[in-house]
Amino acid sequence: MKSSPVSVVTGGAGFLGSHLCDRLLAEGHRVIALDNLITGNVANIEHLAGRDDFRFLKHDVTEYLFLPGPVDFVFHFASPASPIDYLELPIQTLKVGALGTHKALGLARAKGARFLLASTSEVYGDPLVHPQPETYWGNVNPIGPRGVYDEAKRFAEAITMAYHRAHGLDTKIVRIFNTYGPRMRPRDGRVVPAFVSQALRNEPITVFGDGLQTRSFCFVSDLIEGIWRLAQSDEHEPVNIGNPAEMTVLQFAEKIVALCESRSVIVHRPLPVDDPKVRQPDIRRARERLGWSPRVPLEDGLRQTIAYFRNLLDRGLL
Ligand code: UDP
């Protein structure tokens, strides 16, 4: 009998990492999740505890890791990922993108495993091309406060391609655009947890700047489907995964207030430094090469997300 593939997921207790673990297990993989828990949370994987096809190791992926036995896939998802997190953890953000990616690639190479890097739309910085195709090289401020994340991920892409070219490693790079869904950390400062928790508590909704900056929001199940398809593919170039439905942050705030049936009012707060003015994925490559496109309408995804946060609120965890 053919044994099940073994996948290692760094950042496995995070928002995206934990959803990826669920999907891999559903596909019959055995999963080893690594996380140092600085922004991850074991609550995201507690439903997997006790399964014999799942293991969790509290480990910092910037440190050397010895894993016995075969590994077929390494998914490198560990990183602080919200602007507040990487402002508070600048060195850790740089280290996990640089040293952590090097270690994760080393593990994949030692095991002859396929490697998938979670990269980001932040590699495009404050983009001068709109929407952003993978061929756009970006407009990043290397020394600004967001530079720690943007440049770490750009380095991560560079070293991933170097391992592919120099060592023939089978590598993939997904550039993840704004994604939302259950298991986002309530206080990670990102717009979805911030607005939903404010709306549920009938507190003011904090729109940064004039709110005319745009984002495009992808539901987590769509994102994971894209990543699954990419992992199965022979693609080595970066692939954008995100939902092209673009809106202003102000429109988004109004939608959240309406869906939460909230009495919150909108207030304006200063715009963070280097906050991108626009962001929308060009997903032609994902459509053509992976046959992927997003399926979940924003309202459906938001209803599931709001239900998750409402449950946290009811349990006193919000
Ligand atoms: N934002 C906001 N209020 C908040 C949090 C975020 O207006 O309480 C804005 C932020 O300035 C940005 C957008 O929402 O323009 C998305 O921010 P997020 O932190 O989710 O991630 P980003 O897309 O900037 O990486």
Cβ neighbours, 10 Å, residue 218: 25
- % of the chain at pLDDT higher than 70: 99
Mean pLDDT of 16-44: 98
Structure-token pair, residue 188: 């990670």
Of all protein residues, whose CA lies closest to atom 16 belonging to ligand 1? 191
Match 């590598």 to its residue by tokens: 171
Query: pLDDT band for position 297 (50/70/90)?
Result: very high
Q: Is 136 marked active-site?
A: no
CA distance 58 to 141: 33
121 lines ligand 1 (CB under 6 A): no
Ramachandran angles phi, psi of 183, nearest 5°: 85, 0
Ligand 1 pocket residue status of 136, Cβ below 6 Å: no
Exposed (0-12), middle (13-18) or buried (19+): which is 9, by Cβ within 10 Å?
Answer: buried
Distance CA 150, CA 171 (A): 20
Residue 179 near ligand 1, beta carbon < 6 Å: no
Mutate to test the pocket of ligand 1, among 195, 206, 215 (most ligand atoms within 8 A of CB): 215
Rounded-to-integer distance, Cα 146 and Cα 242, Å: 20
State mean pLDDT over 196-201. Answer: 98
User: What per-residue confidence (pLDDT) applies to 291?
Assistant: 98
pLDDT digits (tens, 9 = 90+) for 85-102: 999 999 999 999 999 999
Task: Work out the pLDDT band at 239, boundaries 50, 70, 90.
Answer: very high
Residue 288 pLDDT grade (very low, low, confident, very high; cuts 50, 70, 90): very high
Residue nearest to atom 13 of ligand 1 (CA): 191
Categorize the per-residue pLDDT at 318 as very low, low, confident or very high, splitting at 50, 70 and 90.
confident
> Which amino acid residue places its CA nearest to atom 14 of ligand 1?
191
Confidence band of 18 (pLDDT split at 50, 70, 90): very high
In which band, very low, low, confident or very high, does the pLDDT at 3 lie, cut at 50, 70 and 90?
confident
Interval between CA 178 and ligand 1 midpoint (Å) = 10
The burial of 246, by beta-carbon neighbours within 10 Å (0-12 exposed, 13-18 middle, 19 or more buried), is given as: middle
Domain ranges of the chain: 6-183+219-243+280-295
What pLDDT score does 1 carry? 56
pLDDT, one tens digit per residue, over 138-167 is 999 999 999 999 999 999 999 999 999 999
pLDDT above 80: residue 2:
no
CA 112 from centroid of its chain's CA atoms: 25
CA distance 213 to 232: 35
Handedness of CA 204, 206, 210, 213 (dihedral sign): negative
> Buried b / exposed e across 48-77, counting CB within 10 Å, b at 16+?
beeeeebbbeebbbbeebebeeebbbbbbb
CA dist., res. 18 & res. 163, Å (int) = 26
Question: Which of these is catalytic: 124, 149, 163, 180?
Answer: 149
Average pLDDT on 230-242 reads 98
Is pLDDT of 117 > 70?
yes
Interval between CA 291 and ligand 1 midpoint (Å)? 30
Secondary structure of residue 230 in the 3-state scheme: helix
Question: What is residue 54's predicted lDDT score, i.e. its pLDDT?
Answer: 98
Ligand 1 centre to CA of 190 (Å) is: 5
- In this structure, are residues 140 and 128 in contact, taking their beta carbons and an 8 Å threshold? no
Residues 175 and 158: their CA atoms lie apart, in Å, by: 13
Instruction: Please report the pLDDT score of residue 294 as a whole number.
Output: 98
Q: What is the Cα gyration radius of the chain?
A: 19
Q: Considering the domain delimited by 6-183+219-243+280-295, tell me its CATH architecture.
A: 3-Layer(aba) Sandwich (3.40)
Q: Is 275 in the pocket of ligand 1 (CB under 6 A)?
A: yes
The pLDDT tens digits for 36-74 are 999 999 999 999 999 999 999 999 999 998 899 999 999
